[in-house]
Amino acid sequence: MTTSKGRVVLPGYRRENADPPYLSPDYMATRTRSPERPLIPLAHSLSEITGPVFGHERVGELDHDLTRQHAGEPLGERIILHGRVLDGDGRAVQNTLIELWQANAAGRYRHDVDRHPAPLDPYFGGGGRCMTDDEGRYRFVTVKPGAYPWRNHENAWRAAHIHLSLFGPAFATRLVTQMYFPGDPLFSQDPIFNSVRDPKHRELMISSFDLSQTVPEWALAYEFDIVLRGREATPSEG
């Protein structure tokens, strides 16, 4: 496009970024931890590029199965969580470490600062990990996490969620997100869920119930694909 003064003006485009802003005032913790000044890009140093990377050999046989990591089975609704890790062109991201952490079925984390008066489960640790396969697929066996209160505002409850991390080729490339369950009645009052502003981007954080992968008389299943880039990119936390 050329203006009357002969200047060339390039047509603009809106950059799609599904990630939530650093500052989401309704999500109280972001008021103090969000940066107040522009970020400074830092070039990668040798240590970031050549630093430790989790190798396949370090992932144990039961790391993906949170129902078999202790002497007995955890209480709760057993679920299979599976999906693919894809890049912006829909190609599988193979052999990448995916980590998971979550509350137990009563909504309690096995963590020192979790003071929610719900029971801990001696048979549930809440952490798991696995590597994606040649098709970018991952699969966890766990229990459905409970909702939990978190004092962000009056009568604040987190929608049930599972935290997921993709390690990438180095620690500096790590991406962290949260996965939700379809139809959760707490979505509307959860400022972390709603810190992703665009409703269609929020949909990308909600898993699908997957009848095809349920195990009869044993477990329900949910599917959650993680897309790293592009219009379908899964929102990630800063």
| Residues forming the active site | 109, 148, 158, 161, 163
Name all contacts of 153-157 with Cβ < 8 Å and 24+ positions apart. 153/26, 153/28, 153/191, 156/189, 156/191, 157/186, 157/189, 157/190
Element (H, E) at 31: helix 29-33
Element (H, E) at 20: none
* CB 171, CB 49: distance < 8 Å: no
Alpha carbon distance 188, 195 (integer Å): 11
Element (H, E) at 46: helix 46-50
Alpha carbon distance 118, 107 (integer Å): 7
Alpha carbon distance 94, 96 (integer Å): 6
Element (H, E) at 158: strand 157-158
Element (H, E) at 200: helix 199-203
